[in-house]
Amino acid sequence: MRNYIIIGILLLGVISLNAQDKSNEDMKQKIEDLVSKMTLEEKASLCSGRDDWSTKPIERLDIPWIWVSDGPHGLRRAPATNVPGYGDQLPATCFPTASALAATWDLDLIEKLGVALGEECQAQDVNVLLGPGVNIKRSVLAGRNFEFFSEDPILSGELGAAFINGVQSQGVGTSLKHYVANNVETMRMYNNSDMDIRTLHEIYLRPFEIAVKKAQPWTVMACYNRVQGIYGTESPYILTEVLKNQWGFEGIVISDWFAVVDRVEGIKAGMHIEMPGVSTFNDELIVEAVKNGELEASVLDALVKEILQVVLKAKSLEKEGVELDAQAHHAFARQVAAEAATLLKNDNKVLPITKKKYKKVAIIGEFANNPRFQGNGSSEVKPTQLDKVLDILNQEYGNDFKFTYSQGYSLTDDVDYSMIAEAKEAAAKADIALVFAGLPLHYESEGIDRTHIDLPPSHNKLISEIALVQENSVVVLTNGSAITMPWINEVDGVLETWLGGQAGAGATADVLFGKVNPSGKLAETFPMKLEDTPAFFNFPGEQGEVIYGERIFVGYRYYDEKKMEPLFPFGFGLSYTTFEYSDLTVSAKNIKDTDGLVVTMNIKNTGETKGKEIVQLYVKDEESTLQRPEKELKKFAKIELNPGETKEVSFELNTRDFSYFDGHRALWIAESGAFDILVGASSRDIKLQETIQLQSTQIVPLAYNEYTFFREYWDNKETRELLKAMVPQWIGNFVPEGKSLDDAVFNDFLIDNPIIKLPYVTGGEVDQQGVKDFIEKCKGITYTP
Ligand code: BGC
């Protein structure tokens, strides 16, 4: 019987696969037919939007239009496609912004959030949600940090993939943005993100790569900035070579709003749709370019087919009658915000607030009554409702505790001594003081970078003054990006609640009062001071040039390398319980790069409260040809444990997890040698460690071009002989006494020259052609790293 069931299931699988193939074929045929009937002008017209938020229809051929809308942490849908929708957008659930989402480190939760967002899009007739943003937080000053996940590419990419999978499971597309190296707001329409190819691949492309490969977003949004000198909307390397050819992207590229400069170059590079639609002049240029032969008609046809693919898919997945369940989504938003809350300090177990410990609670700070809950700019959602901490506390905890409220500061930066005096009086009379502080809305905005990372002086002063009169002082922060904390040694507790969305107040209460055990961890380093940060000298750049001088040493990679103490390290966050790490095992101590490695460990809840731990796995390459970070995050997991409970966590590593990107060969390479597997509770709290030996089986080409160094040819047995044969014998005359020809000529004299220098070194005896022939001979020669 069982066998019949299995065969039945298999047959059903085959039938549904066949049905899927058939419908893909039908769709392909339909698109071919449509394109064959389109005029050149109609094809060009599809390559730009109709208005602010929609693509162009072609009524003659029944080609529909679709609706795209911001994003990312909630839906900002304008009343109509041809109005900007700032202030008059339809209400939608405002979830916590990306920095908060990242602090959850919870892929299942983020996928669920994606599902909720997808439902809201279906309810409001939106086909594509413009998000998520997976740009790396390169500088603490970047204005849009609140909208991006992390300083780490793996964490950003995995969260992005989970988000996309959730949204797209609802028949709604996403737009992975802003592709790529969009890390500064100052001069954002012109800036050149100037970095080496290795940094581009290892840090800035990597999150996009993960999200594309794991989730296939329907669209990718090309950035405003230039990358290595070329606009992101015009780069064939970025848009076609990497995105499409290397990663297998199946969707379409849309421009960020007004990001297009040279439309014809954009078409050639693989940039499908220009947004928004402002005029027909670029469509006309496309037509002109095809007519005069500058643009091949087949290139345009290919893009149009891909556009139709997405448009028709979106239309076919529209759902009728989806209602937005505002109450359920509000409750879910509260849950997400609670998972994000990150406990940074909890001396003397000042938190949670319990009846046993405290009766009178002084609530201090304007933000408790007037919440800061999201960032400024295109992502601004009009919430379906907005909770305030003060109301929630009185409603939900008013029977058990006595609350007082003092404003403490106004929304200007100026210190108000009378407000502080009043707050101090209330704090002194209470058993515990909660100071709600953070960054006002205008401090964190799209389009504007920060110039410092301090809280307003009015907040800093208030915190220090309260700490003077109340020994149980806790700072509750709302901000979307790292800040300094000059008062850190004066207070007992710090709870980072990020920009928690419309239900953030309830989540904050849940954590403060112990209904939820905090489990968030930092997805970005908090530095002691701005001057300590990796991009300090190169942010926001000058005259449109942003030099990524810190290269791969972004975030914790930098602080590790400099052996510098941050205020709070990447991956850090406390809990009301404690965890013990033990029994690290690896599947093998000697592996081939192709084998993969399974790493397991046990995590135990050693406290008295149920809690969640975020386990992090870092890899350190002990020795490498290229410079490598001290350690790099490769895997993470969030697990829930009852008091006393132990769970096994297991991770699987593959070749890529041991590799660096060789810029010369444009290849990911995992070199043979020792690697440390580091498992910990944060980047600075490694609990368990094991070393493995990796044996590479990779076949890597030796010669890449005329700049391959003598050293590389010398180190290889085969090419060493060819090299010796090419260099004239008379060079031996210059050998100092006591040295061999090999030592002197190759090891000392020539070794650090690129091969192209040979004609100069040999006075022309080996000429340019000789060098070219030599490179040709070496082309088939490979090595194993
Ligand atoms: C932003 C995008 C946004 C778009 C549409 C741009 O200014 O950079 O993130 O999706 O506007 O509002």
What is the mean pLDDT of the segment spanning 580-584?
Answer: 98
Q: Up-side HSE of residue 331: CA atoms within 13 Å toward CB?
A: 3
Rg (C-alpha) for the chain, rounded Å, is: 29
- Gap from CA of 241 to ligand 1 centroid (Å): 25
Q: Which residues, judged by CB distance below 6 Å to any ligand atom, belong to the binding site of ligand 1?
A: 70-71, 130, 177-178, 256-257, 378
- Gap from CA of 326 to ligand 1 centroid (Å): 25
- For residue 167, CA distances in Å to 122, 313, 450, 503, 666 come to 10, 15, 31, 21, 33
Structure tokens at 720: 């060493």
Going by pLDDT thresholds of 50, 70 and 90, the confidence category of residue 4 is: low
pLDDT given at position 755: 92
Q: pTM for the whole thing?
A: 0.96
- Gap from CA of 186 to ligand 1 centroid (Å): 15
Atom 2 of ligand 1: nearest residue by CA position: 256
Q: Are 21 and 13 in contact (CB under 8 A)?
A: no
Atom 9 of ligand 1: nearest residue by CA position: 378
Atom 3 of ligand 1: nearest residue by CA position: 378
Atom 12 of ligand 1: nearest residue by CA position: 378
Beta strands in 242-394 (DSSP E): 252-255, 342-346, 360-364
Specify the amino acid at residue 669. Answer: I
- Gap from CA of 382 to ligand 1 centroid (Å): 16
Residue 224 Cα: closest atom of ligand 1: 8
Residue 378 Cα: closest atom of ligand 1: 12
pLDDT given at position 751: 84
- Gap from CA of 412 to ligand 1 centroid (Å): 28
- Gap from CA of 256 to ligand 1 centroid (Å): 6
* Cα(494)–Cα(478) distance, integer angstroms: 11
Atom 7 of ligand 1: nearest residue by CA position: 257
Which sequence positions are flagged as catalytic?
256
pLDDT given at position 3: 59
The chain-wide mean pLDDT, for the chain, equals 95
Residue 447 Cα: closest atom of ligand 1: 7
Among residues 504, 133, 131, the alpha carbon closest in space to that of 333 is found at 504
What's the per-residue H, E or C state across 719-731? HHHHHHHHCCHHH
Number of CB atoms found within 10 A of residue 516's CB? 24
Residue 276 Cα: closest atom of ligand 1: 5
- Is 12 a residue whose pLDDT tops 90? no
- Is 10 a residue whose pLDDT tops 80? no
Going by pLDDT thresholds of 50, 70 and 90, the confidence category of residue 447 is: very high
- For a mutational test of ligand 1's pocket, the pick from 68, 70, 176, 187, i.e. the residue with the most ligand atoms closer than 8 A to its C-beta, is 70
- For a mutational test of ligand 1's pocket, the pick from 147, 182, 254, 446, i.e. the residue with the most ligand atoms closer than 8 A to its C-beta, is 446
Going by pLDDT thresholds of 50, 70 and 90, the confidence category of residue 742 is: confident
Atom 4 of ligand 1: nearest residue by CA position: 257
- Gap from CA of 276 to ligand 1 centroid (Å): 10
- For a mutational test of ligand 1's pocket, the pick from 187, 256, 376, 448, i.e. the residue with the most ligand atoms closer than 8 A to its C-beta, is 256
Atom 11 of ligand 1: nearest residue by CA position: 257
* Cα(429)–Cα(469) distance, integer angstroms: 9
- Gap from CA of 142 to ligand 1 centroid (Å): 16
Quick: pLDDT tens for 723-735: 888 888 887 777 7
What is the mean pLDDT of the segment spanning 91-99?
Answer: 98
What is the mean pLDDT of the segment spanning 562-578?
Answer: 98
- For residue 129, CA distances in Å to 1, 67, 172, 182, 235 come to 47, 9, 7, 19, 24
- Is 2 a residue whose pLDDT tops 60? no
Burial letters 700-718, b for 16+ CB under 10 A, else e: eebbbeeebbbebbbebee
- For a mutational test of ligand 1's pocket, the pick from 82, 130, 225, 445, i.e. the residue with the most ligand atoms closer than 8 A to its C-beta, is 130
Quick: pLDDT tens for 475-506: 999 999 999 999 999 999 999 999 999 999 99
pLDDT given at position 16: 63
pLDDT given at position 46: 98
